[in-house]
Amino acid sequence: METATKNNHIGRKIGRIRELRGMKQEALAMELGISQQAISNIEQSETIEDTKLEEIAKALGVTPEAIENFSEEAVFNIINNTFKDNSSNNNNYLCTINPLEKIIELYERLVQAEKDKVAYLEQQLKK
């Protein structure tokens, strides 16, 4: 079974990890100090320079090795194993995530993103 993320296409892996992290191209571009179009071009590239990969990995909160070894199939297996109750054969799915903690985490990320945006805009105004 072939997945959308080919083993050797680093750009697609970057794009999928970015999407899984809930990050838009514009946000990643701002983090790296490049244009959204540059991110689009990176995500279409089959290869990328090691230094650029390290910068992108840092912005995404992962290691370069995590990007290189990324597999959608592995992600789906992790999700399946997290939510599936393996103790029974009737395929019941149990949620092991505390929704309140997730809401708080997302809120904190949103607040931090807004703070980062304000700091960036203030920096741009000073120039």
Q: What is the CATH number of the domain that holds 42?
A: 1.10.260.40
Are 74 and 101 within one domain? no
From residue 126, alpha-carbon distances to 5, 24, 28, 34, 122 in Å are 42, 26, 22, 19, 6
**What percentage of the chain has pLDDT greater than the value 70?**
76
Are 15 and 77 within one domain? yes
Are 55 and 109 within one domain? no
Contact (CB, 8 A) for 61 and 14: no
Question: How many structural domains is the chain composed of?
Answer: 2
Chain-wide mean pLDDT for the chain?
82
Q: Is residue 91 part of a domain?
A: no
Are 81 and 110 within one domain? no
Are 79 and 120 within one domain? no
Alpha-helical runs (H) found in 21-98 = 25-32, 36-44, 50-60, 64-68, 72-83
Q: Is residue 109 part of a domain?
A: yes
Q: Is the pLDDT of residue 77 over 80?
A: no
Are 23 and 71 within one domain? yes
Contact (CB, 8 A) for 18 and 7: no
Q: Is the pLDDT of residue 90 over 70?
A: no
Are 26 and 61 within one domain? yes
pLDDT for the residue numbered 97: 67
Are 114 and 52 within one domain? no
Are 60 and 23 within one domain? yes
63 CB contacts (<8 Å, ≥6 apart)?
Answer: 57
pTM of this structure: 0.57
Q: Which domain range does residue 10 map to?
A: 1-85
Higher pLDDT, 8 or 121: 121
Higher pLDDT, 6 or 105: 105
Q: Is the pLDDT of residue 120 over 80?
A: yes
